[in-house]
Structure formats: C-alpha cells, structure tokens
Amino acid sequence: MHKIEVDAKIDVLSLNKRYAKENREFFRKNNILVINVMGAIGSGKTLLIEKTIDSLGYKIGAILGDVVCKADYDRISKHKVKAKAINTGKECHLDAHLVNHVIDEFDDVDILFIENVGNLICPVDFDLGEDIRVVMVSVTEGDDVVAKHPEIFRIADVIIINKVGLAKFVGANVEKMFNDAKDLNPKAKIIRMDLKEGIGFDEWLDLVNSYVSRHNREG
C-alpha cells in the first residue's frame, strides 16, 4: 500500500451553477421575470407577494420554499394564482435543483416569485437563476440585523425594511438600518415599508413595473 495525491479541481457548487443556468435559460425562453424574495423569518415576505398579486395586472406565479408545512402555499393559493410549495426537509435554503423540478408548470406567467426559506445566511450561496434579488427584514428583528448579515445585503438588488410603523414600539432606529444597508450596498434600491399600513408599497409596485418594462425591452 502506498500514498498518492490526485489532482482534482472539482467545483463543489458546480451542480447548483448548472441548474441555475438551465433555470435562467428556461425563464428567458418563456419571457418570465423571476424575483427571488429572501429574508428573515416573519419579515413579511409572503404578505409582500400576496399584496403584489392583488395590486398588479400581470399573470403571476409563486414558488414557496419552507422547511416543512404548506402555510405560505395555502395563503398564496387563495389569490387564484399558480403556486407550488417546495419543502426542503432539512435544508435552510432553496437550491437551483429544487427549483428546477417545478419550473415547467410556470411557463405561462409574466412574473414568478420565489419565496426562499426564512434565513439571512444560507440562501446567499445558492443562485436559483433569478433576475432580481429582494432581501426583506423588519424592524422587530432589531436595528442591527442589517449590519449583522452583510453578505446577503451585498448581493441584493432591492432591500426592504418592513414594519417601520412598529419601530417606535420596539425601539428600533430605521435610519440606522437604512444607512447600514446603503453602506453595504450603494447600488441597491432600499425601501422603508410597512405593509399593514401601506407605507412604501407604491414605491415597490413602481419598481416591479419598471423591472417588467426593462425585462420586456431587454429580454
């Protein structure tokens, strides 16, 4: 018996990259704008999707990722749109392979929302083939939540700080959160929002409309 060393050069994430590319090609072929909604547990991701479905005239679909249970799926289904739940089992994020299994059903939508598992760490490493990355947090998670999770905010196109109406009750400084987000990612669009009060929601709808127009223009 003797020792040998074998050169490998294997990219451990290559499988995810391959599926993400495949997903992206499918979305492009069918002219679908795909929005990956990431964020903390209870930050308002599902409500954002529900209200967007009710407010816009596009044909919308939604993929809802959760570790177990179909609660988000049940909520979205009531809005009469195509929806699909993905239960990740033990995993804390969606990956491109899981998404790849269900995208065929969404070939006729204009916008596909993918609601990721509530988590500010793990989804960062997994491209799903999306066009837009939204990261949502709320003031009730503490006003240091942005500074504590830099990587997810760095990869975001849109950063939403939700429940600003509760800031005074939980002693959170919304401006600190806004400035932390701006420091980490000067290119991202940052929205102060309170979905229950309607604050910032029109700004979000305008943004989605502009993404749809850009998508239709540029393909």
Partner 1 sequence: MHEMSFAMALLENALRIGEEKKAKRISKIRIEIGELLLINPEQLRFCFEAVSKNTIAENAELEIEFTKARVKCSICGKEYDEIKNICECGGFIEVNGGKEMIIKKVEMEV
Element housing 210 (H / E) = helix 201-218
Q: Is the dihedral of CA 154, 121, 13, 97 positive or negative?
A: negative
The SS3 of residue 194 is strand
Which C-beta is closer to partner 1: that of 60 or that of 190?
A: 190
The residue within the footprint of partner 1, chosen from 171, 187, 217, 219 (CB under 8 A), is 187
68 binds partner 1 (CB under 8 A): no
116 binds partner 1 (CB under 8 A): no
Specify whether the CB–CB gap between 106 and 77 falls below 8 A.
no
In the sheet where 189-192 sits, what is the strand order? 82-87, 60-66, 111-115, 33-39, 132-138, 158-162, 189-192
183 binds partner 1 (CB under 8 A): yes
Which C-beta is closer to partner 1: that of 79 or that of 97?
A: 97
7 binds partner 1 (CB under 8 A): yes
8 binds partner 1 (CB under 8 A): yes
Count the neighbouring beta carbons within 10 Å of the beta carbon of residue 42: 13
The SS3 of residue 64 is strand
Which C-beta is closer to partner 1: that of 105 or that of 151?
A: 151
The residue within the footprint of partner 1, chosen from 67, 77, 91, 192 (CB under 8 A), is 91
108 binds partner 1 (CB under 8 A): no
Which C-beta is closer to partner 1: that of 24 or that of 79?
A: 24
97 binds partner 1 (CB under 8 A): no
